[in-house]
Each structure stands twice: as C-alpha cells, then as structure tokens.
Amino acid sequence: MTDVSYHEFDKLDAEQRAALLRRSETDLSGVIEKVKPIIEAVWAEGDAALVRFARELDKADLSAGGLKATEAEFDAAFDQVEDSVVEAIKFGIDNIRRFHEEQKPEAMWLKEMRPGAYAGDRFTPIRSVALYIPRGKGAFPSVTMMTAVPAVVAGVPELAIATPPAPDGSVDAATLVAARLAGVETVYKCGGAQAVAAVAYGTETVKPALKIVGPGSPWVVAAKRLLAGVIDPGLPAGPSEAVIFADDTVCGGLAALDLLVEAEHGPDSSAWLVTHSRRVAEEALAALPDHWAEMTEQRVAFSKAVLTGRYGGVLLTPSVEESYRFVNDYAPEHLEILSTDPFAHLSHITEAAEILMGPHTPVSIANFGLGPNAVLPTSRWARTFGPLSVTDFVKRSSIGYVTASAYPEFAGHARTLARYEGFSSHERAVSDVRDTYLRGER
C-alpha cells in the first residue's frame, strides 16, 4: 500500500476538481518578491552580483573572471564524458536537427493578391538569443540539444547558454559537449533569476540578448515575468509536468513506470495518471513500490513528493469522455496516450503541448532525441502556446509590392476608408497629390 494521492473524479466537488489543475507555479507572488532584489542587484552590480549569488545560492566558488566557460573547459569536457554519452548526444542532435530543418519556414514568399499587387512574408533570424539550461535537480545536456539546435538551424548569429555552476565552478561536462556539437561556444556560469537578469541587462561578462528560451524553476519563471519589458521571455516553460492517459488495453504497471518519468524531476513537478479503468489504477498503485525500489534515493524522494502531494497522483474517472475532458482542462506539457490503439483517442484531445502515442513512445524517448522539441509550455499554457520551434528564433516581416498598374484600384479603396476613419494624411498619401509626384510634376 502506498500514500500516493488517489482520487475518484465523480466523488469530487467543483473546488476539489479545480485543485487538481493547479501547478507549483500557479501562484508566484511569494517568489516574485524574493526575485525582485536579485534582479535589482544584477542591474546595479553586474558581474559582482553574479559571483555573489553563485556563492550564496548555488554554493559555487567563482570569480568575476570565471563567469564564462573557456575553450579549454570545452575541450576537457570531451575527455570527461563517456563515449556512449557522446554518441547518444550525437544521435539526439541529428534527429532534432532533421526535424527542425523540416520545420524551418522558407526565407520569403510572395503571392499576387490581385494583378500587379504582391504580398507575402519574410523570415529573418533574431539577432541574439540566450538559452537557459537548468541544473539544480540534475544535469540537462538534452535541454541544451533542444534549445541550441533549432536556434542554429534558424541562423541566430549570437547564441549563448546560461546555466548554473557546480560547487567547484564548473559547467556540466555533457552540457558543454552538447553545446559544441550543436554549434554554441558561449556558455555563462550563472543560473536562476540572476541569469535571466544578466542576459536581459548585460554585465561586464554577459552580453545582453533580445530573447531568452528554456525551462526553469519558479524563480526563473518569476524573473522572466518581471523582465518581460526588457527581454522577450519566450514560451512559458516552468517545472516539468505530465499526464499519462491510459485505457483498459494496457498494464497498470506500465502506466506507473511512465508516471514516474516527469515526477522524478523534483517536488515542484506535476504528474498524473488519468484512467477510466479501475484495474489500471489499482495495478499502477500496486506497482509503484516496486519501481521505487529500483530508483536512486534522490529520485524516489522527488517523485514521492509529487505523487503524495497536491500536484500528482492517480485519477480514476467514470468514463473515457471524462478522461478526455480532464486532459483538455489540464492542458499538460507532456501527454502520453497509453493504448494499443492510441489514434482512436487522439482526435478527442486538443489541449496538450506534446502527445506521445502508444506503449513504445515514453516521454524518455521524446526528451532525449526523437526529434520534436521537448521544451514545452507548462501550467496550462499549452492552450495557447506550442513547443519550442525554429519559428521561436526568427521574426516575420510582411512584404508588400504594388506595381504602377495595380496602384489606382488600391488607392481608390484606401482613400475611401481613410476618409471614413478621419485620417487626412492617409487620404492625401493616395490622392492626386501623389499622382503629381509620380508624374514628376512637383
């Protein structure tokens, strides 16, 4: 028997049902107050503040001159990382690059709207982007792959990684390997809210960027919100979350196995098994102790904190329709459809950032290099945001071109609407005044 949170949906009142949708970042008011002085210090003190916060918050020994990874550190990383890990990184990068190359929009398109009048779009890379790579609960070369590859494919000329340092002042070696293999050679040793402030304002070492992307703790999320007027905060990606949707065709032990994948990230993560099969729910609850017995102590602690708390557990619904409804209301970051016929369920689910189909597609495979991006919107933002993509690293300009032969028709309609809206300069710009300039009479 476990202490895992277990709910029967039809026995919950409206308030209890609403509580199931909450995440650790739902209310950031307390965190925001703690983040404000950090941001102010970085703005005022630059590198000195980053060194101080590295010591106080990351317990890392750094000097102002050591805030940027050196070429020697990059070189040494390849000696420190096992060959099998390097090969796994290469495999993932190759798949991620292939996927995002297919996703890349054409540089420009123009279509003739009417005879002699053309309109279209042009896509150009954002000039500078910072990639945030978390570290507090583990090392994440996979996040480096997911953020750096689409940025390089998009052609961003100035790319830099910000990641928390280890206590000895180093950067995770596999992260450096992934960065170099993806095509990024600038890595700053700073994390949390101070990293967001550093890439927003710039310091003596850190160059300011126009945008920051990548997942992070509630502190990172809070800093992005506070600095949204200074730097584009990118899609809202906070602590990990997953819903495992399972029907009666799968084993509950398998559902429990996958439930633990995102739960083990940390106590601020969210993870729910949603099923309308009592058998699956009971089998999952029974299997969890066996899975925990094979996990490391830290990951057991993290996942138990999630599954026995407010942000995770097992939810038994009275019908498959109620399961669909809960998933769409929850709008998860990661969604697995565990079924021998996953496509039968797909059309019923519209609110999920990532949908992984069938028993052979666990979140693990997607996180480490299936191809689609695993940096995803959290906290119900999947209702309006999609996964990180090449398009997050480019901006779109509209293109218009009207020929002399097409001009009179467009000018006539523009004059009519300008006059109606009361804009006299708009009207004059397409009046006979323009015609005299075009004929060279003025």
Total structural domains within the chain? 3
What pLDDT does residue 26 have?
Answer: 74
Query: Which of 234, 252, 273 represents a domain boundary (last residue)?
Result: 234
Contact between 390 and 150 (Cβ < 8 Å): yes
Q: Same domain, yes or no, for 221 and 297?
A: no
* Confidence band, pLDDT 50/70/90 cuts, at residue 2: low
What pLDDT does residue 61 have?
Answer: 87
What pLDDT does residue 86 have?
Answer: 97
Q: Same domain, yes or no, for 346 and 314?
A: yes
Instruction: Give the CATH number of the domain where residue 217 resides.
Output: 3.40.50.1980
Q: Same domain, yes or no, for 157 and 222?
A: yes
Q: Determine whether 334 is an active site residue.
A: yes
Query: Which of 352, 372, 392 represents a domain boundary (last residue)?
Result: 372
Q: Same domain, yes or no, for 17 and 90?
A: no
- Average pLDDT of the chain is 96
**Nearest residue to 364 via CA among 254, 235, 251, 213:** 254
Share of the chain above pLDDT 70, in %: 99
Q: Same domain, yes or no, for 229 and 243?
A: no
Query: Which of 179, 211, 234 represents a domain boundary (last residue)?
Result: 234
Q: Same domain, yes or no, for 213 and 354?
A: no
Please tell me which residue in 262, 333, 336, 427 is annotated as part of the active site: 333
Lowest mean pLDDT among 65-69, 208-212, 336-340, 411-415: 65-69
Q: Same domain, yes or no, for 411 and 326?
A: no
Predicted model pTM: 0.92
State how far the Cα of 78 lies from the Cα of 92, in Å rounded to an integer. Answer: 17
211: containing domain: 29-104+125-234
What pLDDT does residue 135 have?
Answer: 86
What is the bridge-based pairing of β-strands 270-275 and 241-246?
A: parallel
**Average confidence (pLDDT) over 26-54:** 94
Q: Same domain, yes or no, for 13 and 51?
A: no
- pLDDT one-digit tens code per residue, 228-282: 999 999 999 988 999 999 999 999 999 999 999 999 998 999 999 999 999 999 9
Contact between 395 and 387 (Cβ < 8 Å): no
- pLDDT one-digit tens code per residue, 408-433: 999 999 999 999 999 999 999 999 99
Q: Same domain, yes or no, for 250 and 362?
A: yes
Q: Same domain, yes or no, for 139 and 206?
A: yes
Q: Same domain, yes or no, for 80 and 97?
A: yes
* Confidence band, pLDDT 50/70/90 cuts, at residue 304: very high
* Confidence band, pLDDT 50/70/90 cuts, at residue 1: very low
Share of the chain above pLDDT 90, in %: 93
Instruction: Look at residue 112 and tell me if it is in a domain.
Output: no
Please tell me which residue in 265, 276, 334, 345 is annotated as part of the active site: 334
Q: Determine whether 441 is an active site residue.
A: no
What pLDDT does residue 27 have?
Answer: 79
Q: Same domain, yes or no, for 78 and 186?
A: yes
What pLDDT does residue 186 have?
Answer: 98
**Average confidence (pLDDT) over 298-308:** 96
State how far the Cα of 264 lies from the Cα of 299, in Å rounded to an integer. Answer: 5
* Confidence band, pLDDT 50/70/90 cuts, at residue 385: very high
Instruction: Look at residue 77 and tell me if it is in a domain.
Output: yes
State how far the Cα of 213 lies from the Cα of 352, in Å rounded to an integer. Answer: 19
Instruction: Look at residue 289 and tell me if it is in a domain.
Output: yes
- pLDDT one-digit tens code per residue, 141-199: 999 999 999 999 999 999 999 999 999 999 999 999 999 999 999 999 999 999 999 99
